[in-house]
Amino acid sequence: MKNSQSSKLSDNARELGLLGFIVVLALLFQVRNPEFLTFSNLRDLLNNTAILGVLSVGMMMILLTGGIDLSIGATIAFSGMVTALTVSAYPTISPILSLAEGTLVGVVIGIIVGFLVAYCKILPIIASLGMMNIVRGLTYLVSKGKWVSAYQMSDGFKAISIGTTLGINNLILIAIVIYAVFAYFLSSTRTGRYIYAVGSSPDTADVVGIPRKRILLLVYTTMGALAGLAGVLWVSRYASAQGDTAQGYEMSVIAAVVLGGVSVSGGRGKVIGIILGTILFGMLNNALPLINISPFWQQAIQGIVILLAVISNVLIKRNNDRMTLRRRAI
């Protein structure tokens, strides 16, 4: 049917556009520096982006509900620091336990943020801004201002991020698993669809009987869990846990997610989109040094990416609304 075909194309237009952009950009980078499209560089790129990928899923769900979470950088630091300290004190601890510990720390933080947003009716920006500082402060407290460095970490711990399983880097594997699990969750389970519903129209969600507060709590708790997990992966990868680990990283996550087509007003976004957005973002970060653009440009580029992405969403919607009005023949 005519309508469905054209809407299918426009539904996926954004993702196709992103893919196209990635390809074009990759070719451009390759031209400037043939080192770009090599196996080792690409593997590095994927490794670097894996953590971003894990986080992007959580942030996507938060944006789907129309919220935001600025505390994840702090959560990464705190969970990383706690796990690193645990490992340096108990070197024989199994890496799986470390992962669980970090995730649990993140869950606790996520529950608190979720509770503040869902039940105390505090704006997400403020709740997460406050928690960001509380958790960051806790990180410094817990570490007593000192770093945990590589020699204090067990090999098993460091292997979490550097090691491979079945021939694939652990990081990449974890990211793939997370993407797969949540892609399924968001598209094929009732709760997953409720997340979209809450963001698309909170009033209708109330009318239909969707438990909005519980959904919000779930979403922020999940983000916390993923951030906690990412914390362990981070300190394991860089073999160092510091007070200012991942400072400001939430912005990168937001950029990747927004780039991937997730709307900041809620209700719209696809996992395939954020996979592409993450890759594109990771590509920018990876390639810019290769073509001699200083890493100090990264931040500004991030900000411009976010701004342009959200503005273009607005312009597209305005155009659609205009079309709808025109159809109303008077």
Nearer to other proteins, 174 or 264 (CB): 264
202 lines the binding site for other proteins (CB under 8 A): yes
Among 106, 114, 266, 277, the residue binding other proteins under the rule CB under 8 A is 266
Closest CA to 160 of 172, 152, 151: 172
13 binds other proteins (CB under 8 A): no
For residue 59, state whether it binds other proteins (rule: CB under 8 A): no
Q: How far apart are CA 260 and CA 146, in angstroms?
A: 37
138 interacts with other proteins by CB under 8 A? yes
Sign of the torsion angle spanned by Cα atoms 276, 272, 223, 234: negative
- Determine which residue in the list 93, 129, 172, 176 makes contact with other proteins, applying CB under 8 A: 129
Distance of CA 6 to the CA centre of its chain: 31
Rounded Cα distance, 70 and 95, in Å: 28
Q: How many CB atoms lie within 10 A of CB 147?
A: 15
CA 172, CA 177: separation in Å to the nearest integer? 9
Measure Cα distances from 330 to 324, 325, 327 in Å: 13, 10, 9
By CB under 8 A, is residue 166 in contact with other proteins?
Answer: no
Neighbouring residues of 254: CB distance < 8 A, sequence distance ≥ 6: 59, 63, 68, 306
Q: Is 268 in the site for other proteins (CB under 8 A)?
A: yes
Using the minimum distance from each CB to other proteins, give the nearer residue, 38 or 320.
Answer: 320
**Min separation Cβ 236 and other proteins, Å:** 24
Q: Does 312 bind other proteins (CB under 8 A)?
A: no
Stretch of 43-51, 82-90, 92-100, 114-122 contacting other proteins, by CB under 8 A: 114-122
Q: Quick check: 83 and 235 in contact, CB under 8 A?
A: yes
Does 304 interact with other proteins (rule: CB under 8 A)?
A: yes
| 227 close to 79: Cβ distance less than 8 angstroms | yes
Q: Does 324 bind other proteins (CB under 8 A)?
A: yes
* Minimum CB distance to other proteins, residue 109 (Å): 12
Q: How many helices (H) and strands (E) does the chain have?
A: 13, 4
Among residues 106, 110, 114, 124, the one that binds other proteins under rule CB under 8 A: 124
User: Contact region for other proteins (CB under 8 A) — 24-32, 43-51, 169-177, 206-214?
Assistant: 206-214
Q: Is 40 in the site for other proteins (CB under 8 A)?
A: no
Phi/psi-derived region of residue 118, left when phi > 0, alpha when psi is between -120 and 50, beta in every other case: alpha
The interface mask with other proteins, positions 170-199, x = CB under 8 A, is: -----------------xxxx--x--xx-x
330 contributes a contact to other proteins by CB under 8 A: yes
89 near other proteins (CB under 8 A): no
Candidates 96-104, 162-170, 204-212, 219-227; binding stretch for other proteins (CB under 8 A) = 204-212
Could you give the residue ranges of the DSSP H alpha helices within 239-297?
249-259, 271-290
Minimum CB distance to other proteins, residue 133 (Å):
3
Count residues contacting other proteins (CB under 8 A)? Answer: 88
Nearer to other proteins, 43 or 317 (CB): 317
The amino acid that residue 49 corresponds to is T
Q: Which of 27, 125, 168, 291 forms a contact with other proteins (CB under 8 A)?
A: 125
Q: Which stretch binds other proteins (CB under 8 A): 97-105, 168-176, 221-229, 263-271?
A: 263-271
Q: What sign results for the dihedral spanned by CA atoms 106, 108, 109, 111? A: positive
